[in-house]
């Protein structure tokens, strides 16, 4: 495998990765990296969004069911854009979403109109996630080089 030089090529590659990740997180606000076809980027955008949205929908079925579809998707998009995950493990997305709801979600009028008791709905899975976390041990991934410094997407 060819090593990247620490000079311009390394910086260009890192900049492309960061621009790619920003575009995947919030395509409306972040332009795609140059020289990548939109049809190829669309595959990544859809795959990334659909996987996280599906995982959250199965983990928070009550919350999803009481929100209008557009509001649910807006909330998922905001989570993807705003929240910086602290774990690279896909199974920890429920905990990350709870953290987002507790500390980062800016309540909107739609949040308040969705239910007469909005507060408990955001924490519907907190006990379940806590039990799951207590019963599971996660092995830290071996990471080196750029990926060790870049952190979770």
pLDDT for residue 91: 84
pLDDT for residue 120: 45
3-state helix, strand, coil in the chain (%, to 5): 65, 0, 35
Q: Minimal CA–CA distance to 23: which of 33, 12, 15?
A: 33
**Alpha-carbon 39 to chain mean position:** 21
- Any idea what the Cα angle at residue 142 is, between residues 96 and 92, rounded to 5°? 15
pLDDT for residue 108: 67
Q: Which two tokens stand for residue 116?
A: 């007469």
pLDDT for residue 143: 47
**Model confidence, pTM:** 0.63
DSSP letter at 151 equals -
Name the stretches of the chain with pLDDT < 70.
1-8, 10, 108-153
Round to whole Å and give the CA distance between 83 and 104: 7
Find where tokens 């030089």 sit. 5
Q: Which two tokens stand for residue 23?
A: 């575009």
Mapped onto helix, strand or coil, the DSSP state of residue 51 is: helix
């Amino acid at each position: 495998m060819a090593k990247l030089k620490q000079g311009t090529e390394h910086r260009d590659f890192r900049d492309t990765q960061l621009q790619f990740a920003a575009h995947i997180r919030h395509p409306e606000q972040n332009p795609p990296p140059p020289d990548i076809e939109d049809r190829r980027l669309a595959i990544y955008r859809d795959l990334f969004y659909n996987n996280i949205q599906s995982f959250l929908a199965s983990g928070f079925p009550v919350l999803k069911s009481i929100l209008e579809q557009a509001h649910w998707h807006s909330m998922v998009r905001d989570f993807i854009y705003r929240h910086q995950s602290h774990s690279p493990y896909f199974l920890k997305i429920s905990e990350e979403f709870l953290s987002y709801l507790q500390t980062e979600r800016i309540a909107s009028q739609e949040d308040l109109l969705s239910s007469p008791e909005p507060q408990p709905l955001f924490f519907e899975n907190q006990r379940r996630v806590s039990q799951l976390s207590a019963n599971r041990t996660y092995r830290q991934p071996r990471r080196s080089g750029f990926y060790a410094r870049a952190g979770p997407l």
